[in-house]
Each structure stands twice: as C-alpha cells, then as structure tokens.
Structure 1
Amino acid sequence: MRRSALPVFFPSWSAAMDDPAMVALRELAERAKARPAARLRIVGYASPRGTGEANVLLARLRARVVYDFLVADGVPASRLRRESRGPTPGMEDLESRRVEVRLDGAGS
C-alpha cells in the first residue's frame, strides 16, 4: 500500500528543521519501525531562486539531514533511499523548500 508523502519544510537557504518537522519525523520513524518490511523514500527539493548548482546542493543537504535524523531515531539506513530533485520550477514559496518522505510497502 502506498500513502502520500510527509512534507518537511525548510526556511530559505537553510537545511535546519524546526520542532514540528522533528515531531512529524519521529512519528513517521515509529510507524516505520513497526513495519520492518517497509521502505522510506526521501526526496529533497529546493527553490529555483539562485544558481542551479547551489539549489541542487541544498536539496541534497536537506535530504541528508532528514535521512540522518531518521537513522539517529532508529530507522535502519538499509531501509532508506535518498534522492534529490533540486530546484522545483514554478514553485518559489514554501512548497519548493521541502523534503518529501514516503513510507512504502508492507502495511504502511
């Protein structure tokens, strides 16, 4: 079963997570740990403002921050897949500055 992605939003030009993002990721980590066959897909995005290279790096960093947080919270790294999509054309507000985390498989 496939569910919608959990979006984690970031401030402009930042990879710092706020408290609500950390709470949501902890809840997702608990669900993931309760479903050992499920996998998590982490996809980083960035605003199209600024240089393309900087935005690709920022999207990767944001995805890495979420990945590291989930591993630190007990989700095995072998169950995580991290990707980066870089800039999101046509989106320049909050929705472009995000990481999406999707729990896929086995009773998710």
Structure 2
Amino acid sequence: SMAQDAGTGGAGQEKPRVSDANSLREAFNGPSAAQGFVLEGVEFQTGSANLTSREQVYVSELSRLMKAQPDARLRITGYTDATGDAATNQQLSRRRALGVRDALIRDGVDASRIEAVGAGAANPIAPNDTPKGRVQNRRIEVQVLGQ
C-alpha cells in the first residue's frame, strides 16, 4: 500500500547507487538509466546546496558522458529528509538539483539537455526517524532520458 511505501522508502530503494566515476558510467549506460540512480555520498549539509568534492567527480564524468552521447538528456532530482517545512524542503531540494545542473552547464553541457527538479521529502529510500536514514534521504537522483 502507499502508506507502507512512505515508511520504508518503497521503490526508491531499488535504484542503483553510484559511488565513483566507474559506477556512474555503468549506471549511465545501463538498462535502468531511465529509472534513475542515486549519487552516493552527495551529502549536503542541512540547509546547504554547496557541491562536495565527491560531487565534482560525478559532474566531470557526467559531462564527459553527455558529450559522448549527444542524444541523451538528464533529469536531476533533489530530495531532502522529512525534517522541517515541506515548502522549504521543496525549494532546498530544487536548489540542490540546480547546483548539479549549473555545474554541468559550466562544464560545457548544453542547458537545454538538463532539467532540475525538487521533490522535497517525497519517495524516501530510508526511514526518516534515524540520523543515518535522513542522510540517505537527502540525495540527488539522476535519470538518463532519450538515449
């Protein structure tokens, strides 16, 4: 049921988790690229949209892959944990997704090929009642469209 999904994280849990340039490349070129994958270790500080050094690695590799596949488009979705106000979380998650999008554009990927979405606390992949769970829920997911 929907209510159960909200607690456990439901379908979000099935997505591949990317941890470095190699696993990013595999996910980007893999069969479930359109369903999306989670950029592991992109752990924004609460309330912050700053890029981490791990994220710079992802951005460099994503821009390389995008240049190699001119038909591919990206949807970047930011998520927050369930702490705090829903409207604030939605804005924050969008700002985080836009941060990744802006970095890709700076790296030479055409802006028209990347959409950035903020989903707030929707689709949790872990329980929100532990610090570890909240860290996992504060995440960026990337979908590769139109390959």
Greater share of residues in strand = 1
Match of 1:96 among 132, 137, 143: 137
Task: For 2:135, give the aligned amino acid.
Answer: L
Listed as ranges, the matches of 1:1-108 within 5 Å are 2-3=32-33, 4-7=36-39, 8-88=42-122, 90-91=127-128, 92-106=133-147
Q: Percent identity?
A: 37
* Number of matched pairs: 106
Distance 1:86 1:23 in 2: 24
CA change 1:23–1:15 in 2 (3 A) is: same
Q: Which runs of 5+ in 1 are unaligned?
A: none
Structure showing greater radius of gyration is 2
Distance 2:51 2:146 in 1: 26
Q: Following TM superposition, where does structure 1 have runs of at least 4 consecutive aligned residues deviating by more than 6 angstroms?
A: none
Q: Which runs of 5+ in 2 are unaligned?
A: 1-30
Distance 1:82 1:17 in 2: 15
Task: For 1:18, give the aligned amino acid.
Answer: T
Distance 2:140 2:91 in 1: 13
Task: For 1:40, give the aligned amino acid.
Answer: L
Residue 77 of structure 2 contacts residue 118 of structure 2 at CA under 8 Å; is this kept in 1?
yes
RMSD between aligned residues: 1.8
TM-score (norm 2): 0.65
TM-score (norm 1): 0.85
Residue 5 of structure 1 contacts residue 103 of structure 1 at CA under 8 Å; is this kept in 2?
no
Greater share of residues in helix = 2
